[in-house]
Each structure stands twice: as C-alpha cells, then as structure tokens.
C-alpha cells in the first residue's frame, strides 16, 4: 500500500501547502489502484510550522502532490520521509490520474517568502508516458 497526501481546497489542489483547507489522503494498492480516499484536516495556522509532517509520517504517507511551498516545508516533509512533487494545479482527481499515468514531474520551484501570492498560475508539469 502507498499513501499520498494532496493539499486541497474545494476539490482543487491548494496553491500553497501551508494554508490548505485539508489534505486528501489517497491509499493505493500494490497495483496502483485507488483503494480509498479520506480527508485529513489541516492544522490551525500555517502547516509548515505545525506537526503535520510528523502526523503524516505516522500515517505512513510517503508522497505529497502539491502546488507551491517554501523550502522549509519541503525540507521538513523530506526529513519525515515524504517525497514532494511541486507545481501541481487543478482538480485533485485529475492530478491523481496524471500521477498514476506517470505524467507528473516536480516543478523544482519553491516559495522564497512566507506569503506566496506572487506565483503565477502555471500548469502542472507532465512527462509523456510512452507505451502505457
């Protein structure tokens, strides 16, 4: 089983991990089939300064499909064994489908300050999947 967390607001990937309304937690089978989806409420205040990384680690979450986040949050998640693919944008179900099809690629972008309203809306980065 593999668990994935997606920062979510109104069914969409939230633009900023630290201020999302909640996390959509997806459990995948060994065959990469969605077994279940559940909601994990976001902590009060800024997620990057909370214990959410340790909570996710205890839940056995190993991947986050995220919009934007600062390097502090990225490093904190990484230190807790959670890989991050940044630059995701759009409906949670569409991003999950793109991940399952092998089409997501980390944008390698991070916020350089705490309020991240300066980011332009960019599409999720896709890697073509050949032979699937």
Homologous superfamily, domain 2-100: Dinitrogenase iron-molybdenum cofactor biosynthesis domain (3.30.420.130)
- Are 123 and 93 in contact, with CB atoms under 8 Å apart? no
Q: Note the pLDDT tens digit of each residue in 23-64.
A: 999 999 999 999 999 999 987 755 556 789 999 999 999 999
Nearest of 119, 7, 115 to residue 66 by alpha carbon: 7
3-state helix, strand, coil split of the chain in percent (to 5) is: 25, 30, 45
**What's this model's pTM, rounded to 2 decimal places?**
0.80
pLDDT at residue 49, as a whole number: 61
Angle, in degrees to the nearest 10, between helices 52-59 and 71-79: 30
130: Cβ contacts below 8 Å, ≥ 6 apart: none
Sorted by where each begins, the domain ranges of the chain are: 2-100
């Amino acid at each position: 089983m593999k668990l994935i967390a997606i920062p979510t607001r109104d069914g969409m990937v939230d633009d900023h991990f630290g201020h999302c309304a909640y996390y959509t937690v997806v459990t995948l089978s060994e065959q990469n089939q969605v077994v279940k989806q559940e909601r994990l409420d976001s902590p009060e205040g800024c997620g990057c300064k909370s214990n959410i990384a340790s909570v996710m680690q205890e839940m056995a979450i190993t991947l986050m499909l995220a919009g934007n986040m600062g390097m502090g949050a990225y490093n904190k998640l990484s230190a807790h064994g959670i890989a991050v693919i940044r630059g995701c944008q759009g409906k949670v179900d569409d991003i999950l489908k793109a991940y399952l099809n092998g089409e997501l690629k980390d944008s390698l972008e991070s916020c350089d300050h705490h309020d991240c309203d300066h980011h332009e809306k960019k599409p999720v980065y896709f890697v073509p999947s050949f032979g699937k």
